[in-house]
A and B are shown apart, each in its own frame.
Chain A
Amino acid sequence: MSATLTNAGTTRKAAPPAGARAKRLTTSAVIKIIIGVLLVVEIYPLFWLLSSSLKTKDEIVSSPLWSLPSSLQFSNYVEAFTTGSLGRNALNSLIVTVPSLFLIIVLGAAAGFALEVMLWKGRNAVLFLIVGGMMVPLQMVLLPLFTIYYQTGIANSYLPLIITYVGHGLPLTVFLMATYFRAIPREIFEASTLDGGGAFRAFFSVGLPMVRNGIFTVALLQFFSVWNDLLIALTFNIDSKLSTIQVGLLHFSDEYGAINYGPLFAAISMLVFSTLAIYLAINQQVMRGLTAGSVKG
């Protein structure tokens, strides 16, 4: 690393002496090796996953690991879908994720607006109370919540998951939304009320459109945290017909994974590559949001 930094510093200056050039050549070779190793480490596990998911049972057991499948076997994928209930699990995940995400965004943005743009006594204290929720570990609320859901008789529905995801997602969302609203000059909101618009118009027609990039960032963060969650989904899942995809995959692995590798690989690979596709489609926005968010925070 020491040589690389010097190198970065001198690239802008013209005509380095010969010794420096030799040093630069070795430096750039070292960097290329580092990047090569990095790429192999990142990509190889997924490549192996994909190629294993396309192999027949005999091929998986007998042939060397780095060998490619002799022919593309999609039967593992068919089997993954037909033996377990992964299709049903994926649908459950969608049924839970979409309303959770919608509520987190709408309620979080409204609360962020009420706490940052609206003027009233005690708003800082309430903001502090909500943001403090980020420090409370989920484990601290799981058992009482389970008791509530169990005793109110809603444990056998999608509601426990949705309610918990929303409550747990709100602190970070309110914090970020308040930060985004803070960045907008107050005069804009005051001008909108001068035209005779009420507080709701200031929120819906002025506030929300101006923070839409922020909303997108929050939606992404929350999507991945809800979609990939295991702890909440596992705790409140009583009826296996309601299992989310993460819980379903875990059960699938327990029931079929030890005997039959192919369908398990296919199931993992479907989940991994569909999530990856979503990520790649919106990757630029994720990066921008993450860097912007942490700088402001």
Chain B
Amino acid sequence: MKHVLGNKKAIAVLLLPALLIYLGVMVVPAIWSFVLSFMDGSPVVGFEFVGLKNFEHLFSDKEALNALLFTLKYAIIISVGQILLGYALALLYTFVLRKSSTFIRTMVFFPVVLPTVAIALLFGKLFSVSPQEGPINSIIGLFGAPAVDWFATGENAFIVIVIMDLWRSMGFFAILLYAGLIEIPEEILDSARIDGAGGLRLVWNIVVPVSLPVLMATIIFSLNSSLKVFDSILALNNGGPGSATTPLNLLMYKTAFTYGDFGYGSTLALVITVVCLAATLLVFRSSRRDLTKG
């Protein structure tokens, strides 16, 4: 009976199609991309080995530095927002609404499944100032303040980007964290309440430590997805004005496809990969240190 489930032919038939496509689409190209970062050119004009030129360019490239700084600023603010809002919502679902939370959960979750492009175009219109004033500027107008041209400066555009991305993702993070909170045994909470812990103290001393593993996994997930931001900013304002709100990912896309520089584009892709890995390791290590302390 063991040999039936150890049948080599069957294993090959079941596994190989997936494995080959995966190797062909993810593994080989990833290695290839690494090699491309030492080259110049594009598929149209051909490639040429240039050694470390792209990396030398990278360290003196102000645009890349700005994109990196913007990406980090965006990722930190979005991750903090996603975790705080998500955790607050998860607490609301678990401890306040309890069994009746289904409707609210659905309402807060649905933007997650909507196409990012459609949401970005919608938010562009919500915050628009001309030719037609959007609702946000109308509300500002109600308080007597002048309308704001949200996409004229990097700072204002950044505010819109943050609001939009938190609006569409907080429901997802609420569900992830909620899944961790409903797993907390009722006895732990009850015994803490008997000991006189309530409200914020209960959350801080009991709920947060118990849900720490889920929280850490969520932070890693949140950082990894926000460091790769692309769709929403491209569709909202294309990284403008100028390149004030251009993240690394968008800069890499423009470098490769607008300027036809695949070599330097690959170098930027490598930077994105390294930043994501570094962020993951950082959170992972700090969470382990915390666990051993607690």
Interface, chain A (partner B; CB < 8 A): 1-9, 31, 34-35, 38-39, 41-45, 48-49, 52, 60-61, 64-66, 107-108, 110-111, 113-115, 117-120, 126, 129-130, 133, 135-148, 150-151, 163-164, 166-168, 170-171, 174, 189-190, 193-194, 197-200, 202-203, 224, 227-228, 230-231, 234-235, 245-246, 249-250, 253, 257, 261, 264-265, 268, 271-272, 275-276, 278-280, 283, 286-287, 290-291, 294-295, 297
Cross-chain pairs A/B with CB under 8 angstroms, 12 sampled: A8-B96, A42-B111, A45-B167, A61-B131, A118-B11, A120-B8, A120-B11, A146-B256, A190-B1, A200-B13, A228-B115, A294-B180
Contact B122 A38 (CB under 8 A): no
Contact A174 B4 (CB under 8 A): no
B76 lies within 8 A of chain A by Cβ? no
Contact A199 B25 (CB under 8 A): no
Contact A139 B6 (CB under 8 A): no
B249 lies within 8 A of chain A by Cβ? yes
Contact A275 B270 (CB under 8 A): no
Contact B202 A5 (CB under 8 A): yes
Nearest CB on A from B185, distance (A): 14
Q: Which of B169-191 contact A (CB under 8 A)?
A: 175-176, 178-180, 182-183, 189
Contact A2 B179 (CB under 8 A): no
Contact A139 B252 (CB under 8 A): yes
Contact A39 B107 (CB under 8 A): yes
- Which one of B104, B113, B117, B123 lies within 8 Å of A250 (CB-CB)? B117
Other than the known A119-B6, A151-B43, A275-B118, what 10 A-B pairs have Cβ atoms closer than 8 Å? A5-B91, A39-B104, A64-B138, A130-B19, A143-B36, A144-B29, A145-B29, A193-B1, A246-B116, A294-B176
Question: In the complex, what residues of A have CB within 8 A of residue B202's CB?
Answer: 5, 9
**Chain B interface bracket (under 10, 10 to 19, 20 to 34, 35 or more):** 35 or more
Contact B115 A111 (CB under 8 A): no
Contact B10 A198 (CB under 8 A): yes
Contact B135 A66 (CB under 8 A): yes
**With contact pairs A66-B135, A235-B253, A261-B125 given, residues A141 and B1 touching in the complex (Cβ less than 8 Å):** no
Question: In the complex, what residues of B have CB within 8 A of residue A61's CB?
Answer: 131-132
Nearest CB on A from B222, distance (A): 13
Nearest CB on B from A66, distance (A): 7
Contact A287 B175 (CB under 8 A): yes
Chain A residue nearest to B12 in the complex (CB): A114
B243 lies within 8 A of chain A by Cβ? no
Contact A275 B115 (CB under 8 A): yes
Chain A residue nearest to B230 in the complex (CB): A231
Nearest CB on A from B191, distance (A): 12
Q: B208-220: contact bitstring with A at CB < 8 Å (1 yes, 0 no)?
A: 0000001001000
A170 to B122, CA, bound (A): 32
Contact B4 A202 (CB under 8 A): yes
**With contact pairs A118-B5, A119-B5, A291-B178 given, residues A170 and B270 touching in the complex (Cβ less than 8 Å):** no
B241 lies within 8 A of chain A by Cβ? no
**With contact pairs A65-B133, A137-B273, A287-B105 given, residues A110 and B15 touching in the complex (Cβ less than 8 Å):** yes
B62 lies within 8 A of chain A by Cβ? no
A153 to B92, CA, bound (A): 54
Contact A235 B6 (CB under 8 A): no
Question: In the complex, what residues of B have CB within 8 A of residue A290's CB?
Answer: 175-176, 179
- Which one of A2, A45, A138 lies within 8 Å of B198 (CB-CB)? A2
Interface stretch of the complex, out of B148-156, B261-269, B286-294: B261-269
- Which one of B25, B132, B135, B268 lies within 8 Å of A141 (CB-CB)? B25
A138 to B119, CA, bound (A): 22
Question: In the complex, what residues of B have CB within 8 A of residue A126's CB?
Answer: 15, 19
Nearest CB on A from B199, distance (A): 3
Contact A130 B22 (CB under 8 A): yes
Nearest CB on A from B288, distance (A): 18
A231 to B253, CA, bound (A): 9
**With contact pairs A118-B5, A135-B277 given, residues A271 and B118 touching in the complex (Cβ less than 8 Å):** yes
Interface, chain B (partner A; CB < 8 A): 1-2, 4-8, 10-11, 13-15, 17-19, 21-22, 24-30, 32-33, 36, 43-44, 88, 91-92, 95-96, 98, 102, 104-111, 113-119, 121-123, 125-126, 131-135, 138, 167, 175-176, 178-180, 182-183, 189, 193, 198-203, 214, 217, 228, 230-231, 234-235, 249, 252-253, 256-257, 262, 265-266, 268-270, 272-273, 276-277, 280
Contact A174 B18 (CB under 8 A): yes
Contact B96 A31 (CB under 8 A): yes
9 closest A-B pairs by beta carbon, nearest first, are A167-B25, A2-B199, A199-B10, A111-B18, A144-B29, A141-B29, A144-B32, A114-B15, A114-B14
Question: In the complex, what residues of A have CB within 8 A of residue B131's CB?
Answer: 61
Chain A residue nearest to B131 in the complex (CB): A61
- Which one of A41, A115, A130, A163 lies within 8 Å of B167 (CB-CB)? A41
Question: In the complex, what residues of A have CB within 8 A of residue B179's CB?
Answer: 290-291, 294-295
Question: In the complex, what residues of A have CB within 8 A of residue B1's CB?
Answer: 190, 193-194
Question: In the complex, what residues of B have CB within 8 A of residue A42's CB?
Answer: 107-108, 110-111, 167
Contact A9 B193 (CB under 8 A): yes
